[in-house]
Structures are given as structure tokens and as C-alpha cells.
Chains A and B, each alone.
Chain A
Amino acid sequence: MIKHTFASSIIILVILSTFALAAGTSTGNSRNASVVSVEVDEVPAVSVNTCEDKADVRSRIKCRFENTVVAKREAVEFVEEACRDSQGEKREACNQLYKRSKACYNNSDAIAKKRCFLEKSGININRGGTFRAAPDESKRNYVILLLYNLQEKIEGMQENGNITTDQATSLVTKIVEIKKMILSGAKRSEIVPKMQEFKKEFRLVISSLKGDSAQ
């Protein structure tokens, strides 16, 4: 009897340890776990209920950086900053572009992310056509999504304390201005200088970041 009980215990132990091994090596929920930790780290807003009462874009963007809870709520309730100058169908199309591209930003794989951006912009890469031959509107959409990707990165760096709120505000304001120009149908010759200006500032901020980490 004792012999049997001992043998049974050993077998149960082996079975349970295989379950523990399987659970330990599973990565299925690792992404959700990191999301939870980010939510815990959030800094609650201090007595600010809205950023929409600010008159200009820069002030609204700065307010959202300083009040993340308000920013998250207003991102759902209000139209994206870049879409606000557009009217009617164009405004709705702009808003829809942001909504349908949301899934792309969670993609950690660079190839899949690019594919997602192209598809959501309206460029069907599986049809064998070249990017150059795609409609102008789709190409403009693609640039907007790439800029939004940079905006998300800047927001992340600010949230992690890698860059200051003022640096992030300045960069995101420039991105919003460029996106507005693209959406309004501005010519390439008007967009490129603004883009150069943004790149210069972005590189400066990133290089100062690297300099700090080297010290």
C-alpha cells in the first residue's frame, strides 16, 4: 500500500511539473502582462478635465502630454488634430484612416507593420502594382500613417521620461502641421521644407538623448 502511494505521488508530481513547464514557456500572455504594467505606471491627471478649451494646437498637445487620462479620453471623443481643418467627407475619411490603421501600430514586426500601413492607406501591394502608380490620395495617406508612427514613438519617449514634455510638444506639433498640409493637398515643394525642419529637430532631440545615455 505504501509502495503504491509513493509511486502514485511520484507520477502525480511528474504530471504537475509538465504543466508548470508548459505554462512557464508559454508567451501567449506576455504582451498583455506588459500592458497591465504600463497602466499601473500611469500618472493620474491633476484637476484638468479637458484640453479642448485651449485655443491653439500646441497648447492642446502640451496639455494632453501633461494629462494622460484626459488625452486618452479625448482621443476617443474628439476628432484627431490633423483632421480638424478638413471638412465634410474629407474629414470623415481622415478620421476613418486613423481608426482603421490603429491595429498597425501594435505590430512589432517592421515588415508586417509596413504591409499594414500600405494596405490601410489604400495601396494593394498584392496586386503587383508599383507604389509610384498608386493614387495620390493613397500615397498621402501612407505618409500620414508613417508620420503618425513617429508621433507614437515620441509620445512613448515622453511617457518614459526620455524626452521632456516641451521637446515632445514641439515635435508632435510639427508632425500635426505637416499632416494638415498633406491632407489639404499641399504641393510637395511646400511639404518638403517643413519635413526637413522636423527631421532636423527630431535628430537633435535623439542625439541629445544618446549623449545623455553615454555619460
Chain B
Amino acid sequence: MKLLIWVIVAIVVVGGLAWFLSADKSESSSQQQQQTDNAEQLSEDGRIISTDEDVFSEIDDALNTLE
């Protein structure tokens, strides 16, 4: 009887953890999708500034728009 209770507790705990981890993965993939959307939106406004040369080009472009 005791063993049966332990087995049920173990199943509940392991099942709960598995559910929690899968929810975490799903949230992470949703964040990746959001970032991709942002990238598409921002690429219309200009470059993505990931390198020093990107930053320089961005500064030059911004300075060129000054009145």
C-alpha cells in the first residue's frame, strides 16, 4: 500500500516537472518568434546594429538626416 502511494507521488511529481519544462520550451520558442517579427519590422527602418561598422554606418546615416 505504502509503495503504491510512493509510486503515485513520484508519477505526479515527475509529470508536473515534465509539464513545467515543456511550458518553458514553448515560451522560449514564442519569444524567438517575437524577435523574428521585430527583426522584420526594424529592417524596414534600417540596419541591425550588431558590429562596430554597423554602428558607424548608423551614426553616419543619422547625422546625414540632421537639418
- Check if A188 sits within 8 Å of B7, measured CB to CB: no
How far, in whole Å, are A191 and B57 apart by their CA atoms in the complex?
Answer: 15
Q: Does A143 sit within 8 A of B, measured CB to CB?
A: yes
How far, in whole Å, are A130 and B65 apart by their CA atoms in the complex?
Answer: 11
Q: Does A11 sit within 8 A of B, measured CB to CB?
A: yes
How far, in whole Å, are A206 and B53 apart by their CA atoms in the complex?
Answer: 11
CB nearest neighbor in B for A140: B66
Interface residues on B, range: 20 to 34
- Check if A110 sits within 8 Å of B48, measured CB to CB: yes
- Check if A131 sits within 8 Å of B65, measured CB to CB: yes
Determine the chain A residues whose CB is within 8 A of the CB of B64 once the complex forms.
Answer: 188
- Check if B52 sits within 8 Å of A206, measured CB to CB: yes
Determine the chain B residues whose CB is within 8 A of the CB of A14 once the complex forms.
Answer: 10, 14
- Check if B62 sits within 8 Å of A139, measured CB to CB: yes
- Check if A22 sits within 8 Å of B56, measured CB to CB: no
- Check if B52 sits within 8 Å of A131, measured CB to CB: no
Type the 1/0 row for B37-67, where 1 means its CB is closer than 8 Å to any CB of A: 0110110011011101001101110111111
Q: Does B33 sit within 8 A of A, measured CB to CB?
A: no
How far, in whole Å, are A192 and B63 apart by their CA atoms in the complex?
Answer: 8
